[in-house]
Chains A and B, each alone.
Chain A
Amino acid sequence: AQKVTQAQTEISVVEKEDVTLDCVYETRDTTYYLFWYKQPPSGELVFLIRRNSFDEQNEISGRYSWNFQKSTSSFNFTITASQVVDSAVYFCALKGGGADGLTFGKGTHLIIQP
Chain B
Amino acid sequence: DTGVSQDPRHKITKRGQNVTFRCDPISEHNRLYWYRQTLGQGPEFLTYFQNEAQLEKSRLLSDRFSAERPKGSFSTLEIQRTEQGDSAMYLCASSPEGPSYNSPLHFGNGTRLTVT
- A residues near B (Cβ < 8 Å) are 4, 33, 35, 37, 42-47, 50, 52, 91, 93, 95, 97, 99-107
Give chain B residues whose Cβ lies under 8 Å from the Cβ of A93.
Answer: 42
In the complex, which residue of chain B has the Cβ closest to the Cβ of A48?
Answer: B104
> Which of B40, B43, B107, B108 is most buried by chain A, counting CB atoms within 10 A of its CB?
B43
In the complex, which residue of chain B has the Cβ closest to the Cβ of A103?
Answer: B45
Give chain B residues whose Cβ lies under 8 Å from the Cβ of A104.
Answer: 42-44
**B79 within 8 Å of A by Cβ?**
no
**B91 within 8 Å of A by Cβ?**
yes
In the assembled complex, the Cα of A46 lies from the Cα of B105 at a distance in Å of 9
The answer to whether A52 touches B43 (Cβ under 8 A) is: no
Give chain A residues whose Cβ lies under 8 Å from the Cβ of B107.
Answer: 37, 44-46
- B residues near A (Cβ < 8 Å) are 31, 33, 40-45, 48, 55-56, 58, 89, 91, 93, 100-102, 104-110
The answer to whether A101 touches B33 (Cβ under 8 A) is: yes
The answer to whether B42 touches A107 (Cβ under 8 A) is: yes
The answer to whether B101 touches A43 (Cβ under 8 A) is: no
The answer to whether B89 touches A43 (Cβ under 8 A) is: yes
6 A-B contacts (beta carbon < 8 Å): A35-B104, A44-B109, A100-B56, A102-B45, A106-B41, A107-B42
Give chain B residues whose Cβ lies under 8 Å from the Cβ of A50.
Answer: 101-102, 104
Give chain A residues whose Cβ lies under 8 Å from the Cβ of B44.
Answer: 104
> Which of B31, B48, B104 is most buried by chain A, counting CB atoms within 10 A of its CB?
B104
In the assembled complex, the Cα of A57 lies from the Cα of B1 at a distance in Å of 31
